[in-house]
Amino acid sequence: MTGASVLITGASSGIGKASVLHMAGMGWQVFAGVRRSEDGAALQREATNGASTRIVPLLLDITDGAAIADAAETIEQQVGAAGLTGLVNNAGIAIAGPLEGLPLTELRRQFEVNLFGHVAVSQAMLPLLRRARQQQGRATLINVGSIGGRLATPFNGPYHSTKFAMEGLTDSLRQELRGQGVAVVLVAPGSIQTPIWDKGISRAIEQLGHMSPQMRELYTSRMLVVMRLARQVGVNAITADVVARVIAKALVAPRPNTRYFVGVDTYVGRVLARLPDQWRDWMLAQGIDKESERAANETA
């Protein structure tokens, strides 16, 4: 698509990185939001077949209003009258741990990155998206959610709460922009091979060390089992490239779907989410208990 451009946040790794490389390879001009200049340089080095010239790294902390304003100014200077064809709100972190012992600063940080930051970026880019709609005939805003926005598991409350919120926010924004021609899409993957969970698990284990002895006694053993299950799921998870291809499909579609679920486990998750709460809680607890027994037998 000639003249097409997209801003992708959280482009240093995972889905964001894969999406940057994929869209640049398709001929789009890609503004890649990264936290460190070396991450932007790495993206350009990894691009093939001349795609590196179409990647424009931007130092973008989506919780920093000044950084967002600078990014919007840079993008406007480069795209001019054509506007910005697409926005992919992808940046995210995963904070895990028992809610009873989690510092509120951590919970607020989770929301700042996974929700409020995306709202701030969307607000800054919508004028450029509307311009693209007028000049190019299309504009698409994609929020990267998760099946974790439909189905919650223990010790991942901070992450799940932001993804549940993203579901509602995306629905409202889609309805508000309906008459303006800007398509609003939610891409909801299941388990992915991405660094976000390894970082979250490591931080959760670190947090346990700061909790009171009573809190550790109450939660440590069960939480470690859940973390172990999460790692096992991650081994067979889909790659970020699979999600990147779905994001590309939504960006180029004249009439994209309102939602794209990515990965077989998202079908299982949606079925579980429709079950009565007591049934679903029992099934999840059974899985945790079985893994706990297996771990105990291995160490016996």
d(CA 77, CA 83): 10
Nearest to 62 by CA among 36, 88, 38, 33: 33
Inform me whether the pLDDT recorded for 1 exceeds 60: no
Give the count of alpha carbons within 13 A of 269, CB side only.
18
Mean of all residue pLDDT scores within the chain: 93
Q: Which residues are catalytic?
A: 159
CATH number of the domain located at residue range(s) 5-293 in this protein: 3.40.50.720
CB atoms within 10 A of CB 286: 10
Q: Which residues contact 265 (CB under 8 A, 6 or more apart)?
A: 147, 190, 191, 233
d(CA 274, CA 62): 34
Q: In three state form, how does the secondary structure of 181-228 look?
A: CCEEEEEEECCEECHHHHHHHHHHHHHHHHCCHHHHHHHHHHHHHHHH
Distance of CA 216 to the CA centre of its chain: 30
- Per-residue pLDDT reduced to its tens digit, 216-269: 899 988 988 888 888 777 777 899 999 999 999 999 999 999 999 999 999 999
Of residues 232 and 150, the one with the higher pLDDT is: 150
